[in-house]
Structure formats: C-alpha cells, structure tokens
Structure 1
Amino acid sequence: MKNKVAIFLLLLIAMPAWAQEKLKIGVVDIQRVISESQAGKAAKDKFQTQVKKIEADLLREKQTVEKMKSDFEKKSALMNEEDRRNQEKEIQKRERGYVLGMRDSEQELRQREGEMTSEIFKGIVKIVGEMGKGEKFSVIFERSQVPYSDDAIDVTKKIIELYNSRAPAPGKATKGK
C-alpha cells in the first residue's frame, strides 16, 4: 500500500513537468536480471558449489552418527553400565553437533546468498540509473511493483546486456569466502 501511495505522490509531483516534456516510463524485472546476467549465473554456480560441499559434510556427519548408533545397538548388551552411558553420551553429543551444524550451515548459506545478491543488485541499480538518465526516462519501475505494464516499456533485456558488458568477469562478480 505504501508503494502505491509513493508512486501516486511521485506521479502527482511530476505532473507539471509532463506538460513540458514527453513522459518516458520503463519497467525492469530485477530478479530476471539477477538470474539471467553472467554475474548472476556465476554467483548462482558458486553458491551451488558451496551448498553441495556443505551438504556432503553434513551427510558424512549424519552417517557417522548413524553408524555409532548402529554399533551401539549391536554391542550395548555386552557393555558394562558405565561404558554404555559413556557411549550414549557420545552419540547424543555427536547428534547435537550434527543438528547445530545443520542450523549454522543453513544460516551461513542464507547470509552468503544475500551477500551475493546484494552486490549484484547494487550494480544493477547503478546501470538502471545510468540508462535512465542516458535515455531520458522519466521513471523506471521495478516490475514487481507495477500491477500491469505493456511489454513495450520493459527494459529488462537491455539492462541485462548493459550489465553483462560492464560487470566484472564471472568469478570476480562476488566476494569469495
């Protein structure tokens, strides 16, 4: 709702200027630019590599815990009470470590994804501003904020082309961790 009010006020304020010059409006799909640009694809590939590595580490830990449980079930009848309690504590400790590791990994991945997207987003916004000024657009809206727009005013493809031509080479578009 706030966005609609802001858009209305912006249009209301700009009305006197419209009488003097032709209004030129554009829309851009930022998510499409992120997903289809070279830097966006490189960031996605890098992120997927990180996800696979973390998933493999977590899978190994899960298998270790499951093996410990299986071995314990097989040998627990032969263990004395103290050894059985120690083994149970060790299994619980490893299981908690696995669960905490999973949560930490999810949080870390969300943070990394946000950082990668944020960096690309800043570059896109800069390109949109430059193109808007250079081609004398009155305003360029983000597509998700506009209920309807004609495809003729969509500048997404042009933004992708400009971004690809100016963005750092894939692999250098995001900060490495």
Structure 2
Amino acid sequence: MNIVKIVTGCMSGLLITVLVLVNGQALAADTKIAVIDMKQVLSTSTAGKRAEGVIKQKMDSLQASLKNDENDLIAMQKEGEKKGAAWSDSVKREKAAAFQKKRQELAEKQENANQELRKLREQQVNPVIKKLEEVVSKVAADNGYAIVLPRNVVLYATDAVDISNTVITELNKVMK
C-alpha cells in the first residue's frame, strides 16, 4: 500500500525528530516505548480491510476494461503481421496510424486509471489513518507510553512492546 509507505516515512521523520530533541536523561529506564506494525493494522483492521476491498474492486474493474483494450491492440498487431505483406502502402499507413492512435489511447486510459486509483486510495485510507492516529494517541496515553514507533524503523523490539493488536481492537471499535 502506498499510503503505508507515506505514513511510515512520516513516522520515520518523527522518530528522527524525537531522537534529536530528546536528550539522554529523558530516556530514563522507566520511559515506556511501544512499536506498531502499520501494515498489519491497515491490512487486518475492519476499516483497513473495507478500504482495501473498495480499492481492489475498482482496480479489478479498471484492469478488466484495460485488458479489453490491450487485447484489441494485440489483435491489430497480429493482423498487421499476418496481412501486412498483402496490403498496399496506403492501407499499411492507415493501419499503422490506427494502431498508434489505439496505443496512445490505451496509455492515456492507463494513466487516468492510475490517477483514479490514487484518488480513491486517498479517499478510502486517509480517514482510517486519521482515526488510527487518534487511537494510537489514546492507547499510548492510557498505557503510559512516551513514544510509539513504527515497527519497520526499529532494528529490534520484543513482542511485549508491540501494541498493534491493541490498536487494531480499538480501531475496530471506533470505526464500526
């Protein structure tokens, strides 16, 4: 998921900022730190699954539409390979122009489909991420965590400090 990479990047930036701003004394032995697996949360929470389902359904629909156009393009190419020798120069130019036009139309449709999927992903995933930030803040405050880091930027963390399942449970409660 692209959004997961963006969120992870933002959280990595926050991690660096926190580490720069926090001096050694602030990270005393009693400071509680937790990690969260963003990919797991977004892929297993009810809201994350719902968002991914909507995105997958749209992606499948767009791919089916594009597949028909790709098949038409392949058919035009095969026709040119089979019958091209028998065609006059004017017919060859006409067929080549039609092929180029069809290929350009397909490229434009693919770009439009990609833009549509990006917009849909933002529409579906951004509200989940916004609510996820609130849930993480609440879970951290309720459990006394001073810092919550994304698991993928931490070299080592025991499962005891991973709050992903707790966050998933809470996110499911607030995003029914």
TM-score if structure 2 supplies the norm length? 0.76
Deviation at 1:33? 0.6
| Alignment partner, residue 7 of structure 1 | 19
1:128-171 deviations in Å (ceiling 9; x for gaps): 10122223322222222322222112111110000001114xxx
| Alignment partner, residue 97 of structure 1 | 105
| Alignment partner, residue 58 of structure 2 | 50
Moved over 6 A (4+): none
Deviation at 1:54? 1.1
| Alignment partner, residue 157 of structure 1 | 165
2:22 counterpart SS class: helix
| Alignment partner, residue 6 of structure 2 | none
Report the residue type matching 2:41 in the other structure.
Answer: V
Query: Do residues 23 (structure 1) and 24 (structure 2) align?
Result: no
Report the residue type matching 1:131 in the other structure.
Answer: V
The change in CA–CA distance for 1:5 and 1:12 in structure 2 (over 3 A counts) is farther
The change in CA–CA distance for 1:129 and 1:147 in structure 2 (over 3 A counts) is same
| Alignment partner, residue 138 of structure 1 | 146
- C-alpha RMSD of matched pairs (Å): 2.8
Residue ranges of structure 1 left out of the alignment (5+ in a row): 169-177
The change in CA–CA distance for 1:133 and 1:72 in structure 2 (over 3 A counts) is same
User: Identity of paired residues, percent?
Assistant: 23
Residue ranges of structure 2 left out of the alignment (5+ in a row): 1-11
1:4-48 deviations in Å (ceiling 9; x for gaps): 563253253635xx59xx433222112211111011111112111
Q: What is the alpha-carbon distance in structure 2 between the residues aligned to residue 149 and residue 75 of structure 1?
A: 65
